[in-house]
Amino acid sequence: MLRVDNPQVDVRLVHLGDDIDGLAKELDEIAASRPQGAVSAVVAPLVTGPHPKVYRMVREAIAASGTQVMINPPLGPHPLIAEVMHIRLADAGLARADRVRLFNIASPVDGIIVLTAGGPEAVRAADTTAVLLAARLAIPVVAASVDDGPGPRDAAERLHKIGASRLAIAPCIIGPEADPAEVRAAAESIGAGCAQPIGAHTSLARLIIEAYGNTLYELE
């Protein structure tokens, strides 16, 4: 989607995996076609909030390549991310679709857990997403981390204490930053439904280009 809508931008998709070699190699290749000493690329991590491991690996790849590179901030929190999460919940039958949410139709669930990756810092950022999603769904929404507390069980207990019994997990995860099996296991462990991760969506492409533009503006 990024390439189609922005043909003037050289867009390259790099999967970090367990090492930085792939990203460092791409940065070297891009820098070879740029003037020496000029900023050669903008790295846009596909994460919805703070993710220390991802940003550490990106910085290490930049250092290993010895190139001048700028890094975009996380894509969220942002209302567009909450909107896509709502769509994923509706696709899974766990929320009313946006077009009918204002009608007097009972919600399939009465509590949502926004599940993110990146530890406590990511959960704090996801709290904002939880507020945005709660405003859309008109039910309680709390945040939790799939990899480092507070976890789904803590979030489920908070929801149970305020009377919620039909729970669902809304992954605030684009995809590769968390193991899908761990997300499903987290939902099963608390007897909750589970939507799909955010995945590819035009709203994400808009956020990436917006962040890219803001980063370029800082260079001027």
- Does 86 share its domain with 177? yes
Domain count for the chain, please give it: 2
- Does 119 share its domain with 186? yes
Instruction: Residue 154: give the domain boundaries.
Output: 79-194
Distance of alpha carbon 140 from the chain centroid = 20
Rounded average pLDDT over 29-39: 87
Q: What is the pTM of this model?
A: 0.90
- Does 67 share its domain with 108? no
- Does 167 share its domain with 114? yes
For residue range 43-98, what is the model confidence (pLDDT) as tens digits? 999 999 999 999 999 999 999 999 999 999 999 999 999 999 999 999 999 998 86
- Does 20 share its domain with 113? no
Burial label for 104, CB within 10 Å (0-12, 13-18, 19+), is: exposed
* DSSP-H helix ranges across 138-179: 152-161
Peptide bond into 79 cis (omega under 30): no
What's the pLDDT at 220? 64
* Averaged pLDDT of the chain: 91
- Does 14 share its domain with 93? no
- Does 46 share its domain with 108? no
- Does 50 share its domain with 104? no
DSSP 3-state helix, strand, coil percentages of the chain (rounded to 5)? 45, 10, 40
What's the pLDDT at 7? 77
- Does 39 share its domain with 60? yes
For residue range 147-157, what is the model confidence (pLDDT) as tens digits? 887 999 999 99
- Does 83 share its domain with 189? yes
Q: Given the structure tokens 């007097």, which residue do they identify?
A: 104
What's the pLDDT at 160? 98
Rounded average pLDDT over 108-119: 96
* Residue 6, pLDDT above cutoff 80: no
Q: DSSP label at 140?
A: -
What's the pLDDT at 2? 67
Q: DSSP label at 115?
A: E
Q: Which residue has the higher pLDDT, 179 or 217?
A: 179
- Does 114 share its domain with 52? no
- Does 116 share its domain with 38? no
Q: Find, among 177, 172, 181, 184, the residue nearest to 144 by Cα.
A: 172
- Domain harbouring 142, CATH code: 3.40.50
